[in-house]
Structure 1
């Protein structure tokens, strides 16, 4: 039977009906077969200020979400399922935006270092397995080579969550396939927050968009350059939330339920698409100007939430 997440998007629901009628083995949402295992998603909130770089294990994520936080800075929510690194971090605190994003998955595990006290009841009530250090002290450690608070790391192998081989991106309906017709050749694209900047540069020899942060090449702790097969620049409404950080700064909330425009970068081209997510339980659908589901290049997907 299709997974509950597959049923949530309109395109995947149509595919599910086709499965019932024809016993076909593929779906139009994520391209999974009916016998494919359900993705067991581990989401990790990763620090992304200069003092926290380079990140560890980010290159293994299926999806890398980038969101704006206090003072115009950025933070990362990385979703793992097909491959789990031995270490991930540095781990930082969760935000309200994370809770809405993670509703797309079935009861994911969220690893984070803490949260504002007013947000904790919302985390506990969310349909996820909250995993701060207090609940799994043996899974976290401090790296003495870095200064706190940028030195907390997670060992995924120490928590009861194993890799299933299923891709988290496919599990929420993203389909890896040949590109649609059209597209505009582009070599580089940048996005800015008030205090952060991301640039994606096409590298044809690697079939990837190389990532730069704050005008510097972004690398993993291994030394490898960070790169994405597909980049989605998703325009969203960023609103002040009712939560504040310790410095009294209001936490922004990026609304990912609704609809809007987006730009998809893949194979050295840019595609203007529309996105739609009708409810928090729905997965986000991306469609071309022709109304067809957008397809994505095989590999890591970066989704940057861009303020309207």
Structure 2
């Protein structure tokens, strides 16, 4: 009887101990649940990097790039949506008037424009960045090239003023009043069987440590001339506070029409390329494949560099090695070999 009583007492004590242990574990778990999750330090908190701006994000970065032809005639200024493009190529179209190819991936404004017609060298650039190429009208032979080369495109002439993809605004006259409703691009592209997602290889971007060690000549003011001194000019002025360059056209600050946001640039990339007029309308062929001389202007400094076309992308190189970009916005100004980059570009520290 004593043995049975002792055994029963032992079992009771063990059960009581187990229950106490379970309660303590439960309390410990509750305390752990109430402790905020430790956030990773530094860049580890971001899941990805936008491939053409180098900006880190916790959002998805697989939306396909959209390349839009944007008018730069004086009657088309100020434009809409330019301040949000990751990369903008500024290249001569006719005469001394330039036109933009704006590449959108990390930011997608509601409206972009005015939209203008296509050129071969623009759609070849768009293809290099795997972009859906958006334009409004083109010469028949240019349209044929776009179709025959398998470019994924949306032509505003097909959707002119449909109110979904394109809208004609009354405050400007044609051909300076066609505006792309950018939010509709992916839906319309899907109806044509185009992919609207894409995994892109990132451009080469500098780390914060590399940015702090940038070394070059001072470049507070950059002026790019397209033609003689009475023609179109572009200016970039460095702002020490923001570490960016503010853009102007013919002395007028470049701003967004809808938001009045000033266009500020992290990388000014100027390249020299061979230009040739190919018809009576003044259309050009431009060699963006061979490479040549260039300037890379960042953080108030300029480097004399070379440029190369790598798999359809225009990249800066020095001593045969790619040079990194500062994360942010990049504008690429293409100037003719005649008169040349030294004659077309003036850089000063004033």
Class of the TM-score when normalised by the shorter of the 2 chains: 0.7 to 0.9
SS in structure 2 of the partner of residue 159 of structure 1? helix
Consecutive unaligned residues in structure 1, runs of 5 or more:
1-24
Q: Measure, in 2, the Cα distance between the counterparts of 1:117 and 1:301.
A: 32
| 1:160 and 2:174 correspond | no
CA RMSD, aligned part only? 2.9
- Shift of the 32–210 alpha-carbon distance from structure 1 to 2, 3 Å rule, reads closer
SS in structure 1 of the partner of residue 313 of structure 2? coil
Q: Any conservation in 2 of the 1:67–1:254 contact (CA below 8 Å)?
A: no
| Residue 144 of structure 1, CA deviation | 0.8
Q: Measure, in 1, the Cα distance between the counterparts of 2:111 and 2:60.
A: 26
Asked which structure has the greater CA Rg, the reply is: 2
| 1:213 and 2:249 correspond | yes
Q: Output one character per residue of 1:214-270: Cα deviation in whole Å (capped at 9) or x when no partner.
A: 2222111122221101110011111223xx4xxx42212221101211101100100
Q: Any conservation in 2 of the 1:89–1:152 contact (CA below 8 Å)?
A: yes
What residue number does 2:153 align with?
Answer: 130
| 1:306 and 2:338 correspond | no
Consecutive unaligned residues in structure 2, runs of 5 or more:
1-46, 190-195, 338-350
| Residue 38 of structure 1, CA deviation | 4.1
1:268 to 294, 300, 303: 300
- Shift of the 156–202 alpha-carbon distance from structure 1 to 2, 3 Å rule, reads same
Q: Any conservation in 2 of the 1:83–1:165 contact (CA below 8 Å)?
A: no
| 1:285 and 2:318 correspond | no
Q: Any conservation in 2 of the 1:234–1:263 contact (CA below 8 Å)?
A: yes
1:101 to 125, 131, 153: 125
Q: Output one character per residue of 1:260-296: Cα deviation in whole Å (capped at 9) or x when no partner.
A: 1110110010011111126xx443332224x442111
- Shift of the 260–42 alpha-carbon distance from structure 1 to 2, 3 Å rule, reads same
Higher helix share: 2
| Residue 174 of structure 1, CA deviation | 3.5
- Shift of the 304–174 alpha-carbon distance from structure 1 to 2, 3 Å rule, reads farther
Q: Any conservation in 1 of the 2:83–2:255 contact (CA below 8 Å)?
A: no
SS in structure 2 of the partner of residue 111 of structure 1? strand
| 1:120 and 2:154 correspond | no
RCO greater where, 1 or 2, for CA within 8 Å and sep 6 or more? Answer: 1
- Using structure 1 for the length normalisation, give the TM-score: 0.79
Q: Any conservation in 1 of the 2:79–2:114 contact (CA below 8 Å)?
A: yes
Aligned residues: 270
SS in structure 1 of the partner of residue 293 of structure 2? strand
- Shift of the 255–39 alpha-carbon distance from structure 1 to 2, 3 Å rule, reads farther
1:48 to 50, 66, 72: 72
SS in structure 2 of the partner of residue 210 of structure 1? strand
- Using structure 2 for the length normalisation, give the TM-score: 0.70
Q: Measure, in 2, the Cα distance between the counterparts of 1:155 and 1:36.
A: 22
Q: Measure, in 2, the Cα distance between the counterparts of 1:66 and 1:282.
A: 16
